[in-house]
Amino acid sequence: MTNAMSGRRSELVRKNLSLMLFLLITTPIALSLPSIFPIAEVEAASNCTYDSQQAGKWHQEISSFNLTGSQKDDAWFDDDDRGFQEDTESFWIGQMGDNIYNNSELKALRTDFHASFEVKNDTASGLRLNLTSGYRYTFCVVTHSENSSNYLEAPMVDFYLIKKYDWDFYQQDYQMRVWENRDLLDKIPPEWRDISAWMPYRDVHAYEGEKATDFAVSLDHDEVSGGFFGLAEEETQWMYLIVDGWDNMRDSDTPAPHRNFSVDITIMTEERFTLPNYTVALFCGGLFVMLIATPIILHSRYQRAGVGPGSEGEQGVDLMPMLETEATKPPPPMN
């Protein structure tokens, strides 16, 4: 009875070990295949509708910006056209509207939102957002020709999603757009150009030469920045959705459309479950431990095989029998 129970226990342990190894190997492969979950993704990206009853509020969850200026004057205004000033002192430093940049705190966006506005030629406009983890954000952006040029098709422009860090470089790029030697930047190797160049979020959220686009993004953690070793206070990295109507520094961008146009932006939010970041360490560490433990367990099992009874399939080894025979010689004499 004891031998049978011990054998079943060993067999159960072996099956559980095999199942854990199978799940650890097949789970990341299954999650990496986007074709497994096509229905929800297509539905969320194509249904560009929003709940107007619970829409986000201006200057509480969303604010706008607008970069503009003539070929001779470098100027820009920000946050719902609150002001405009020309830069007559320095070519490199543009004025920020009424000289106050609205960098107020924004609440995390957890509701849908829609906005329509005009984008003038050789300018850039868009929205400043506070995206948070635990939500899936779907953006639908569509351009339209204005009434004065409605006989023309909608212009092809660029759409970008960038962080606050890259937004500062984007402003500098816009201020340098009329610099006569600006083409020299193209001669800088890309690996060195990235030091002072702006990049789209995660290097992929750049949609160039499009009349309309829709995309989705989810954050696995809130975007914050701070000093080295946590010495500085953490700062929220605002996200900027840019409608680009000028010729920026990227080689793959679209030139200015040479006419004004309007744009509709719809943002849909969907609450979703996000695995904590430490699950990656647990998975990788568990897989590594299992790979080390498997040969050790197998080796110990086979090493114990046949050593004494007690397990199913084990056979005891009989010792050499002792031969009992009569003495053929007398014992030595006792002194």
Query: Quick one: CA dihedral 310, 311, 315, 319, positive or negative?
Result: negative
Q: Where are the alpha helices (DSSP H) in the chain?
A: 2-31, 38-46, 164-175, 190-193, 278-304
Residues 107 and 7 in one domain: no
Residues 179 and 194 in one domain: yes
Q: How far apart are the first and last CA of the chain?
A: 57
Residues 202 and 235 in one domain: yes
142 closest CA partner among 261, 2, 284, 273? 261
Residues 297 and 242 in one domain: no
Nearest-angstrom CA–CA distance, 118 and 214: 19
**pLDDT score for 296:** 83
**pLDDT score for 79:** 43
Domain count for the chain:
2
Note whether residue 325 is domain-resident: no
Residues 140 and 15 in one domain: no
Judged by average pLDDT, the poorest of 90-94, 140-144, 294-298 is: 90-94
Residues 9 and 84 in one domain: no
Highest mean pLDDT among 181-185, 234-238, 327-331: 234-238
122 closest CA partner among 174, 180, 183? 174
Note whether residue 51 is domain-resident: yes
239 closest CA partner among 113, 155, 117, 52? 113
Residues 254 and 289 in one domain: no
Q: What is the average pLDDT across 15-37? A: 60
Q: What is the average pLDDT across 156-162? A: 96
Residues 208 and 286 in one domain: no
Percent of the chain with pLDDT over 90: 26
The strand pairing partners of 267, in sequence order, are: 113, 139
**pLDDT score for 304:** 73
Residues 284 and 205 in one domain: no
Q: Which residues are within 8 A (CB) of 64 and not within 5 positions of it... i.e. 6 or more apart? A: 58, 79, 80, 115, 117, 125, 126, 127, 128
DSSP class of 232: S
Q: What is the average pLDDT across 305-334? A: 60
Nearest-angstrom CA–CA distance, 45 and 163: 22
Note whether residue 64 is domain-resident: yes
Residues 164 and 218 in one domain: yes
Residues 26 and 135 in one domain: no
Note whether residue 321 is domain-resident: no
Domain residue limits at 294: 2-31+279-304
Confidence label for 334 from pLDDT (cuts 50, 70 and 90): confident
Q: Which residues are within 8 A (CB) of 324 and not within 5 positions of it... i.e. 6 or more apart? A: none
**pLDDT score for 51:** 67
**Residue pLDDT, tens place only, 195-241:** 778 889 988 899 999 999 999 998 887 777 765 565 667 777 889 99
Note whether residue 318 is domain-resident: no
Residue 159 has pLDDT above 70, yes or no: yes
Note whether residue 127 is domain-resident: yes
Tokens in use for 137? Answer: 């954000």
120 closest CA partner among 249, 262, 254? 262
Residues 266 and 286 in one domain: no
Note whether residue 317 is domain-resident: no
Which run of H or of E encompasses 243?
strand 239-244
Side-chain-facing half-sphere of 293: CA atoms under 13 Å: 12
**Residue pLDDT, tens place only, 53-78:** 677 788 888 999 999 875 444 434 44
Confidence label for 44 from pLDDT (cuts 50, 70 and 90): very low
Cβ 123 vs Cβ 64: under 8 Å: no
Residue 29 has pLDDT above 90, yes or no: no
Query: Quick one: CA dihedral 171, 174, 178, 181, positive or negative?
Result: positive
Note whether residue 334 is domain-resident: no
